[in-house]
Amino acid sequence: MFFNSIHYLFFLPLMFIFYWLMNNLFYKNLILLIASYYFYASWDYRFLLLLIFSTFLDFYTGIKIEKAINKKTWLWISVFINLGLLCVFKYYNFFINSFEVFVYSLGISFHPYLISVILPVGISFYTFHGLSYVIDTYNHKIKAEKNFVNYSLFVSFFPLLVAGPIERATHLLPQIKQDRNFNLIKSVDGLRQILWGLFKKIVIADQCAKLVNLVFDSGTHYSGSTNLLGAFYFSIQIYCDFSGYSDIALGTARLFGIELLNNFSFPYFSRDIAEFWRRWHISLSSWFKDYVYIPLGGSKGNVWLRIRNTFIIFLLSGLWHGANLTFIIWGAINAIYILPLIIFRSNRNNISIVAKGKLFPSLNDFFKILLTFFLTTFSWIFFRSSDVKFALSFINNLFSNSIFTKPQIDTKLILVIIPLFLIEWFGRDHPHALANLPFYKSFFIRWSFYLILTVFILLYAHKGGESQFIYFQF
């Protein structure tokens, strides 16, 4: 069941009604849990067992870590099994194939056993949920949860189950355990955020996808200018697709009185790569920061240690996205981008919101934003390419004379992308773009704006089909 499907259009209001009809916290949580399992089973009911197993494992080890003497053993059991499952489903074939190539280069023939199983939806996300809980319990940041329904809901809450945000037990579990009251303002804002998420996904991302697929899936015979436009469209597509998903997830959760972690904070208005990574997929970046980067020493220590730690988290981040060399290179490129900032300790130069309280950015900020956008767009080429060879020939073509020719794909889409950026620019002071736009004071203009967005969504809804969100594959 996709967020942009007709199925979900019926599922969400039904759950909303059932949920708020309950006046007992246990039943509210139970309804959300059943809804979440139904939501997950609609993808593939067989993997529901894997999700329940993973949930039970972390629930049980959490209790053991709190009570048992050999806490470390239980922690490692959980980490080993969680990562083991992730490796089997996601990375086994990649590593075994890489090993085969390596062994073959030494002149040894080796025919490994490959498994043919589809990747369970959301495994990377719920594994990281579970791991954060177990590690936080071990570090005494949170007490072990004794109620299985509460804990299961923390792992499986349907808005975040298949593509995040990657929640922390310290943030979500207390909300699950506390009775929730209906809040009109938050619910209306939740609907607004869902509307914006759907707009970004259906009107922008899905339309960009058609052109991106054309450029990236049909060889390298396009001109440099077409490749450049294709890469630009992919930057927009992946942002609108993933942040659109996150907006729908956060908005949905708010309808049930739950606040999820913000996952995007207008990353394309970043003035350097460090700022970009504080604003892009925030829940994953902060997960790696808290559970890998800081335990490794973080930015303390000498230069070489900082370089090592930076590379480790970016390479892991790349690998987290998928078992393909292209993702690892994408991670490495971003590590290289951020290195000068880490070395010269200027990675926290741009903390505040760009041009706060002003209508336009300064020229200096504007060029910094453009440069950061260009750098990220360049790295996305590897992220989107099917293999490294394709990415290299794509880039080679990009820097040819044909960059000065007319692009061979539609350029009209830019006319829709410009208003997107304008709205995001005016909403950048808030948790999401539609939270409080300058023209909201007029009821008529506000509702007209919502209606226009809805009409656009309905106009384009069937054109991309019920297309999957990019991050579902991770």
Partner 1 sequence: MHTKEEKVSLFISNFSLYMKQFIFKLLTFCLIIISLIVFGFYLPATPRDRQSLLFSQVFKDSLLNYTPSPRIILIGGSNLSMGINSFILKKDLKLNPINTSIHAAIGLKYMMHHTFKFLKKGDIIILSPEYQQFYGSFADGREELLRVIADIDKKEFFDLQISQISNILKYIPSYCLSKFKLQEYYYNKNDLFLYGSDGYNIFGDYSQHWQFMHVDAPIDNFLLEKYNPTVLSEIQEFNNELEKNGCKLFITFPGYQKSSFTKHKNQINFIYNKLISSGTLKILGNPLEFVQEDSLMYGTSYHLTKRAIDKRTYLFMQKYKNFKN
- Catalytic residue positions? 321
Cα(260)–Cα(12) distance, integer angstroms: 17
- Binding characters for partner 1, 9-38, by CB under 8 A (x = yes): -----------x------------------
Binding to partner 1, residues 361-390 (CB under 8 A) = none
Check binding of 191 to partner 1 (CB under 8 A). Answer: yes
Among 53, 80, 110, 182, which residue sits at the site for partner 1 (rule: CB under 8 A)?
182
What is the number of other CB atoms lying within 10 angstroms of the CB of residue 245?
29
Nearer to partner 1, 221 or 356 (CB): 221
Place of tokens 């409080």: 436
Judged by CB under 8 A, the stretch of 89-97, 175-183, 295-303, 332-340 that binds partner 1 is: 175-183
Q: Quickly list DSSP for 36-82.
A: HHHHHHTT-THHHHHHHHHHHHHHHHHHHHHH-S-HHHHHHHHHHHH
Nearer to partner 1, 181 or 401 (CB): 181
In the bound complex, what is the minimum distance in angstroms from residue 430's beta carbon to partner 1?
A: 20
251 touches 191 (CB < 8 A): yes
Check binding of 6 to partner 1 (CB under 8 A). Answer: yes
In the bound complex, what is the minimum distance in angstroms from residue 226's beta carbon to partner 1?
A: 17
Among 344, 374, 439, 447, which residue sits at the site for partner 1 (rule: CB under 8 A)?
447
In the bound complex, what is the minimum distance in angstroms from residue 447's beta carbon to partner 1?
A: 7
Among 70, 97, 139, 183, which residue sits at the site for partner 1 (rule: CB under 8 A)?
183
Angle, vertex CA 330, rays to CA 327 and CA 334, nearest 5: 145
- The distance between the two most distant Cα atoms of the chain, rounded to a whole number of Å, is 74
In the bound complex, what is the minimum distance in angstroms from residue 178's beta carbon to partner 1?
A: 15
Nearer to partner 1, 87 or 451 (CB): 451
Cα(214)–Cα(226) distance, integer angstroms: 10
In the bound complex, what is the minimum distance in angstroms from residue 456's beta carbon to partner 1?
A: 9
Judged by CB under 8 A, the stretch of 109-117, 291-299, 331-339, 446-454 that binds partner 1 is: 446-454
Cα(186)–Cα(251) distance, integer angstroms: 9
Token reading at 255? 């309808």
Judged by CB under 8 A, the stretch of 97-105, 176-184, 321-329, 421-429 that binds partner 1 is: 176-184
97 touches 116 (CB < 8 A): no
Q: Which residues of 351-390 are buried (b: 16+ CB within 10 A; e: fewer)?
A: eeebbeeeeebeeebeebbeebbebbbebbbbbbbeeeeb
Check binding of 410 to partner 1 (CB under 8 A). Answer: no
Question: Total binding residues for partner 1 by CB under 8 A?
Answer: 20
Judged by CB under 8 A, the stretch of 84-92, 122-130, 181-189, 423-431 that binds partner 1 is: 181-189
Binding to partner 1, residues 449-468 (CB under 8 A) = 450-451, 454-455, 458-463
Cα(365)–Cα(94) distance, integer angstroms: 41
What is the number of other CB atoms lying within 10 angstroms of the CB of residue 174?
10
Token reading at 360? 């336009």
In the bound complex, what is the minimum distance in angstroms from residue 449's beta carbon to partner 1?
A: 12
Token reading at 234? 């992919």
Nearer to partner 1, 103 or 188 (CB): 188
Nearer to partner 1, 269 or 460 (CB): 460
Q: Residue 229: which of 427, 411, 423, 473 has the closest Cα?
A: 411
What is the number of other CB atoms lying within 10 angstroms of the CB of residue 118?
9
Tally the residues of the chain: 474
- Binding characters for partner 1, 127-166, by CB under 8 A (x = yes): ----------------------------------------
In the bound complex, what is the minimum distance in angstroms from residue 191's beta carbon to partner 1?
A: 7
Nearer to partner 1, 87 or 459 (CB): 459
- Binding characters for partner 1, 299-338, by CB under 8 A (x = yes): ----------------------------------------
In the bound complex, what is the minimum distance in angstroms from residue 167's beta carbon to partner 1?
A: 25
Angle, vertex CA 263, rays to CA 183 and CA 364, nearest 5: 115
Residue 126 identity: Y
Q: CA 99 → CA 89, 109, 320, distances in Å?
A: 17, 11, 19
Which parts of 139-216 fold into alpha helices (H)? 148-156, 158-161, 169-177, 184-198, 206-216
In the bound complex, what is the minimum distance in angstroms from residue 259's beta carbon to partner 1?
A: 18
Nearer to partner 1, 187 or 436 (CB): 187
Binding site for partner 1 (CB under 8 A): 6, 20, 181-184, 187-188, 191, 447, 450-451, 454-455, 458-463
